[in-house]
Copies of this chain bind each other. A is one copy, B any other.
């Protein structure tokens, strides 16, 4: 029998997990299929591969990453740790619980570098269009090598979509927004808050983007920050410079009017209005069309496309769990492709989808959503040889984290957690998040102590505690 050919689209955290999954089987002696991973960026890491560019990249393609210079993990690293590659193994010693972007990128890329899977990836190569060949049941994948524009079409037996769901911004319209003469951008195009110093900033949204850009803007000296929510405020204890208001009804020049009748003058509007699943390379018969959610429909065990079980999605699920959930999905997809795990028929798959969706729909609290996602991951891990880990303990970490933000939105990143994988307690970091103005890996992993000049620091009681 001819060797199967597998296409992986994307080499962000999910695509990297899929590469690691196959390589791990190969090293254990398995025959693995021929793998081609298509990556439109020049390097892997997906969201974690920072680019200064916004909007359209150097090849005329949408910039993939929504990353900003100053981003530190907004959840404890102990909740996303790989079960097969611990932080201890990578860094050789305990580090803090909330590493900045560059440190996390180092961790996730370190794992795959050590797996020697870079050879499977075609960088700067975008997938343009995928079709199903009805006669053979295979896929035709057309890709373009962006530096020279060459397109080619190849045949694959199975396709794994791992392009993520934080790249295509949702940009709702607001009455009169075209009369707002200040700067308008979506969080996707936010690259850092330094330019917001002394500015009045309106963030539309009440989820992670608004929350974190809000505190970044505060940290960098914004004069005032308003978060505008549609359903409910974030409701933590904000510093005086940050307030929350209900949804914008309309703009009139630089004045925003809110549904409670108040208004405010702003210099900058940042739409923190979320992201959409968007697969411009897939026909509608294959494209996942769902809101960002913990359990989007149409996917058996969250990964098998019900319309064609030779198409898989890895990393299509939203929040709480991330890297180790992608691993659980990737290991399971690998085993389906290798034939180690049986693919149920369409009816059985639908029953399973419906049962999980029914359970998901009944969830009333964020806490139960975390537990639901832990159960989902547990179900996947039980099918494969991915190292099992204490998911209940990770749930506890998530709940403690949520509580810590409520308690101290400007200081929660200074807390430390214990690794579920190794039992190692995170290091207390040398500098508080609010006082630290250098987000580099060198600074984070260095000895600390060299502080920026005093006048770079926000005049706030919290920084005084460092």
Q: Mark A54-94, 1 if CB is under 8 A from B, else 0.
A: 11111011110000010000000000000000000000000
Interface of chain A, helix or strand or loop or mixed? Answer: loop
- Taking residues whose C-beta sits less than 8 angstroms from the other chain, chain A's interface range is 35 or more
Chain A, 34-70, contact with B by CB distance < 8 Å: what is the 0/1 string?
0000000000000000101111111011110000010
B181 contacts A195, C-beta separation under 8 Å: yes
Q: Is the CB of A289 within 8 A of B149?
A: yes
Instruction: Using CB atoms, name the residue of chain B closest to A176.
Output: B52
Task: List residues of chain B with CB within 8 A of the CB of A144.
Answer: 280, 284
Contacting pair B50 A149 (CB below 8 A): no
A262 within 8 A of B: no
Minimum distance in angstroms from A170 CB to a CB of chain B: 8
Is A276 a contact partner of B60 (Cβ separation < 8 A)?
Answer: yes
Most buried by B among A55, A144, A180, A182: A55
User: How many copies of this protein are present in the complex?
Assistant: 2
In the complex, A409 has a CB within 8 A of chain B: no
With A62-B62, A182-B195, A280-B61 already in contact, the answer to whether A56 and B151 are too (CB < 8 A) is no
The interface bits of chain A over 113-145 (1 if a CB of B lies within 8 angstroms of the residue's CB, else 0) are 000000000000000110000000000001010
In the complex, whether A422 has a CB less than 8 A from a CB of chain B is no
Question: Contact: A172 with B55, CB < 8 Å?
Answer: no
Q: How far is the CA of A189 from the CA of B57 in the complex (A)?
A: 13
Q: Which residues of B contact A172 (CB under 8 A)?
A: 58
Docked-complex contact A280 and B128, CB < 8 angstroms:
yes
Chain B: minimal CB distance from A290 (Å): 11
Please measure, in the bound complex, the distance between the C-alpha atom of A189 and the C-alpha atom of B54, giving whole angstroms. 9
Whether A184 pairs with B52 at a CB distance below 8 angstroms is yes
State whether B52 touches A178 (Cβ < 8 A). yes
A150-B284, A289-B149 as given contacts; A56 in contact with B195, CB under 8 Å:
no
A320 contacts partner chain B, Cβ-Cβ < 8 Å: no
Verify if A376 is at the interface (C-beta below 8 Å from B): no
Is the C-beta of A460 less than 8 angstroms from some C-beta in chain B?
no
What are 30 A-to-B residue pairs whose CB atoms are below 8 Å? A50-B178, A52-B177, A54-B184, A54-B185, A54-B189, A55-B55, A55-B63, A55-B186, A56-B62, A56-B168, A56-B169, A56-B171, A56-B186, A58-B171, A58-B173, A60-B62, A60-B168, A60-B169, A60-B276, A62-B62, A128-B129, A128-B280, A128-B281, A142-B283, A144-B284, A150-B284, A151-B285, A181-B195, A183-B195, A195-B267
